[in-house]
């Protein structure tokens, strides 16, 4: 691999040239090469060819190529990649060519981007157009599913976003579906969004995740946070834009339902971390030696969103705020900003608010929004979603009111007719109330277990967590079956965390030893660390692979997050780990 920069240039003249020769050197990624993930064929869906992808966020691409690995520095780049025959190579670039005889791909990104948005993927990938400027790439066995889920939809979302925030500047918007080993849900690489294939079965989550990445084309990619200490400038604004797009395309009720689900998760995380935890600040302090990815949590997304929503309410009309955001994008396009840039621009665009000293309003000062720990200072009015959230609240109340009225609780609502976000909101609230009385969990199983078996993985994992947190042994075989068929971090880690906090840890050990060969090495290390915490030495002696769980368990892989490690119950399903 070769990488070169001009010896002398102005900042706006900088250009990066990268030359790569793909030659797998082993499974997984290592601390030395944290950005590069090599997969053996058995870790793909097709199990016929190896696979490689990169994940640069936040500061991993320094192990991929020499670079200024900070979001404050942007430049165009070009790359030359030589790959074995039969390997399709893609990069986050505006232009690409392929010289078949030489097996060489050439890529060019004409717009300045930060290093973390340079991305590469190679494997058995085939394309299909799903719109005039979009295509999906996936392994052959997944392509038809990807087409059926997204054909025509992406163009609708792009058009809605353009109507709100101005032209889409990146040319194409393609999506590549990655194997379950992809460590997060999605990544907004320009021109080529990466998404984990596991999300394909959960339609509403797929919609939200893709729209969130579409929103990043304006907020995060075009205008970027200059420092990782202000990640909310990308994630909070992208979340706000995502919800404006969903309101335009699916209505306010759907948007309010999804927001209620996420804010529930924010308050759940706050209870676990504590309201005075410094990571709950929007301007969080990044200590030397700390990976910025460790600061990515629901405060970055949802507290950031609440602040942006509050700003939108100050100007009295969402359309006026959309106009401000269009001007903000136009002013700072292809640059990196700090919070003061956004807020100064806001007050300049709305001089009447500056005259009112709105930035110093008691209790809602801009400075307090940025630097106070704890929950958002104000949350959005979600009453427009009551037609969807109301039935959830009613059913939850019926099941948790003592004494239990079985007839009323079991006969009131047909959850098979609910939207996914209604069902997961209901199950999350049952999770928050666990452990439940034995009579309640038994009746819940009797009423819903068979129905939930046929629903998507986002729903099933929550029901299985309820089973585990309530030590409900009659349904435990469903937990085993689920883990035997899952290779994704987002569907395995939450269950192992719950299994290891109670009497079901021996069950967790047994399932892990039976399934570990199908897991990516980095995920396997993470689960080993979870299993190793508080392990009974006598239990370890009786377990076949116990040495792997000794006190010197493997060091955390690049996918490990500090908040999760410090607070075992804070699992990735509670965070939209779309970067």
pLDDT digits (tens, 9 = 90+) for 96-107: 999 999 999 999
- Rounded to the nearest 5 percent, the helix, strand and coil shares of the chain are 50, 15, 35
Segment among 453-462, 470-479, 546-555 with least mean pLDDT: 546-555
Mean pLDDT of 399-423: 94
pLDDT band of 557, cuts 50, 70, 90: very low
pLDDT score for 568: 36
Q: Give the residue among 21, 42, 217 at the shortest CA–CA distance from 113.
A: 217
Instruction: Please give the average per-residue pLDDT across 522-529, as a whole number.
Output: 94
Question: Can you tell me the mean pLDDT for 46-58?
Answer: 95
d(CA 86, CA 93): 21
Reported as a single tens digit per residue, the pLDDT across 478-518 is 999 999 999 999 999 999 999 999 899 999 999 999 999 99
Whole-model pTM: value is 0.91
pLDDT-derived band at 549 (thresholds 50, 70, 90) equals: very low
Instruction: Count CB atoms within 10 A of the CB of residue 316.
Output: 12
Question: In the structure, what pLDDT confidence band is assigned to residue 536 with cuts at 50, 70 and 90?
Answer: very low
Band of residue 295 on the pLDDT scale cut at 50, 70, 90: confident
Q: Output the average pLDDT for the chain.
A: 89
| Closest-CA residue to 123 (of 178, 193, 62, 76) | 178
Secondary element (H or E) of residue 139: none
Spot the catalytic one: 213, 229, 497, 559: 213
Check whether 475 has a pLDDT greater than 50.
yes
Strand, coil or helix: what is 186?
Answer: strand
215, 217, 221, 222: CA torsion to nearest 10? -110
Reply yes or no on whether the pLDDT at 55 is more than 60. yes
Cβ contacts of residue 28 below 8 Å, gap of 6+?
37, 38, 520, 521, 522, 557
Least confident of 363-372, 445-454, 546-555: 546-555
Phi-psi region for residue 427, left (φ > 0), alpha (ψ -120 to 50) or beta?
Answer: alpha
Query: Which pLDDT belongs to residue 172?
Result: 98
CA distances from 274 to 1, 59, 222, 277, 281 (A): 45, 27, 34, 6, 12
d(CA 508, CA 514): 10
431 or 558, greater pLDDT: 431
The answer to whether 188 is a known catalytic residue is no
- pLDDT, mean of residues 358-383: 98
SS3 (DSSP) at 290: coil
Neighbouring residues of 287: CB distance < 8 A, sequence distance ≥ 6: none
Q: For the segment 8-37, what is each residue's pLDDT rounded down to a tens digit?
A: 445 555 777 878 777 755 555 555 668 999
């Amino acid at each position: 691999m070769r990488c070169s920069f001009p010896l002398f240039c102005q900042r706006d003249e900088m250009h990066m040239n990268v030359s790569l020769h793909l030659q797998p050197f082993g499974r997984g990624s290592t601390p030395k090469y944290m950005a590069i993930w090599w997969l053996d064929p058995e870790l793909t869906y097709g199990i016929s060819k190896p696979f490689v992808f990169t994940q640069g966020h936040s500061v991993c691409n320094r192990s991929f190529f020499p670079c200024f690995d900070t979001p404050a520095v942007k430049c165009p780049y070009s790359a030359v990649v030589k790959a074995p025959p039969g390997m399709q190579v893609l990069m986050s670039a505006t232009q690409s060519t392929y010289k078949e005889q030489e097996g060489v791909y050439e890529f060019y990104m004409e717009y300045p981007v930060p290093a973390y948005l340079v991305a590469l993927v190679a494997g058995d990938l085939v394309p299909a157009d799903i719109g005039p400027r979009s295509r999906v790439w996936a392994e052959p066995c997944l392509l038809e599913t990807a087409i059926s889920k997204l054909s025509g939809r992406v163009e609708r979302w792009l058009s809605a976003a353009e109507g709100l925030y101005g032209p889409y500047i990146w040319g194409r918007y393609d999506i590549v579906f990655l194997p379950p080993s992809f460590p997060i849900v999605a990544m907004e690489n320009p021109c080529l969004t990466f998404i984990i294939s596991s999300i394909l079965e959960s339609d509403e989550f797929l919609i939200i995740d893709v729209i969130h990445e579409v929103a990043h084309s304006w907020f995060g990619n075009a205008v970027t946070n200059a420092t990782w200490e202000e990640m909310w400038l990308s994630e909070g604004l992208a979340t706000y834009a995502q919800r404006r797009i969903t309101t335009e395309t699916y209505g306010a009720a759907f948007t309010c339902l999804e927001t209620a689900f996420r804010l529930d998760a924010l308050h759940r995380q706050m209870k676990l971390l504590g309201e005075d935890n410094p990571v709950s600040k929007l301007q969080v302090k990044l200590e030397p030696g700390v990976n910025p990815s460790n600061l990515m949590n629901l405060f970055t997304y949802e507290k950031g969103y609440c602040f942006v929503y509050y700003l939108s309410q100050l100007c009295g009309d969402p359309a006026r705020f959309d106009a401000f955001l269009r001007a903000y994008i136009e002013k700072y396009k292809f640059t990196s900003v700090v919070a003061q840039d956004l807020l100064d621009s806001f007050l300049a665009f709305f001089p009447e608010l500056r005259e009112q000293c709105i930035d110093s309003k008691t209790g809602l000062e801009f400075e307090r929004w940025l630097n106070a720990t704890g929950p958002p200072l104000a949350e959005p009015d979600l009453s427009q979603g009551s037609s969807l959230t109301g039935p959830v609240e009613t059913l939850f109340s019926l099941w948790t009111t003592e004494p239990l009225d079985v007839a009323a609780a079991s006969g009131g609502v047909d959850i098979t007719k609910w939207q996914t976000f209604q069902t997961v909101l209901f199950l999350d609230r049952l999770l928050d109330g666990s452990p439940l009385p034995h009579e309640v969990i038994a009746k819940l199983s009797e009423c819903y277990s068979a129905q939930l078996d046929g629903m998507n993985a986002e729903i099933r994992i929550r029901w299985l967590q309820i089973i585990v947190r309530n030590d409900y042994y009659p349904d435990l075989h469903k937990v085993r079956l689920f883990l035997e068929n899952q290779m994704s971090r987002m569907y395995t880690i939450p269950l192992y965390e719950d299994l290891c906090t109670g009497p079901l840890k021996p069950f967790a050990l047994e399932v892990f030893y039976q399934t570990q060969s199908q897991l990516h090495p980095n995920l396997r290390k993470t689960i080993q660390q979870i299993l190793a915490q508080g392990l009974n030495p006598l239990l370890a002696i009786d377990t076949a692979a116990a040495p792997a769980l000794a006190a010197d368990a493997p060091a955390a892989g690049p996918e490990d997050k500090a908040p999760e490690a410090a607070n075992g119950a804070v699992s990735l399903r509670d965070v939209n780990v779309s970067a």
